[in-house]
Amino acid sequence: MSEGRDSAVGEQGVIRPEKATKRPAGKSAKKPVERPEGKSARKPAAKATVKAAAGSGWKPESRLAMVRRARKINRELAELYPYAHPELDFRNPFELLVATVLSAQTTDLRVNQTTPALFAAYPTPEDMAAAVPEEMEELIRPTGFFRAKTKSLIGLSAALRDNYGGEVPGRLADLVKLPGVGRKTANVVLGNAFGVPGITVDTHFGRLVRRWKWTEQEDPEKVEAEIATIFPKSEWTMLSHRVVFHGRRICHARKPACGACPIAPLCPAYGEGETDPEKARKLLKYEMGGQPGQRLSPPADYPGRPAPALGAG
């Protein structure tokens, strides 16, 4: 377990109360943002003002204040999740591409439990392009939408074989031409297999950046474009991992664990979920709640337990 994680998380992955509940008492909790000092603090223009969350008491802030708050959240998340990583098991760009396509409308855990048999049967694009559809469908059935996914996987594998010499291309423009591959999938592959910075806007990422008032956009491409203006390009890939990690572990869609959230003082949506620290800690998931993660083969620095294989519980 890394030193950065120890500063935020106690034994068995449970957030320490003093970190999790660090929120100013009374009205002082309404002023979490860092603002410019002295006369240099300009009065925000109307279109540069972020509206307060309904019923939260969160005050409007200038774009400059929002950017500073957003970057502070990113720094806090980096301390909380120094081990953040893609939660799909893969050994090469082709496996990551296939796993990401399979991850649509299912969990990374279910994909990770499914891909070992799939890659044993079809280890290369050439092998997968020649697959009998009915046989592949049975292998990926646990991920759902298996007929459509089989069609996409055979199609993209054939395109890799015929157009790219059996190699996954390292350019966004090429990746999005492949069957079943959109910008989200392309950015996952570029950022994690090729080291090319990209922002991955999945449901968790979109939900959190709207809760945090970084954007009001709903369309993933517009979300990506707006968030890209807030952070330097070098941060894009890891920012994506950190935000997704937080969404899966603490800031859940239906019942956020607000009372166990280390960035609560920076969150306009604080109070949408459980604020009692003890009750909130019971909502924590994966390593934060002492439970297995999603990967069967997690990175060496992952502090939690590996996920079980398919059928192992």
Interatomic CA distance for residues 43 and 112, integer angstroms: 50
CA distance 129 to 94: 12
Measured between alpha carbons, how far is 52 from 85 in angstroms, rounded to an integer? Answer: 32
The answer to whether residue 22 is catalytic is no
Catalytic residue among 72, 202, 279, 285: 202
Examine the residue annotation and report whether 184 is marked as an active-site residue of this protein: yes
Q: Exactly one of 89, 108, 149, 184 is catalytic; name it.
A: 184
Q: Which residues are catalytic?
A: 184, 202
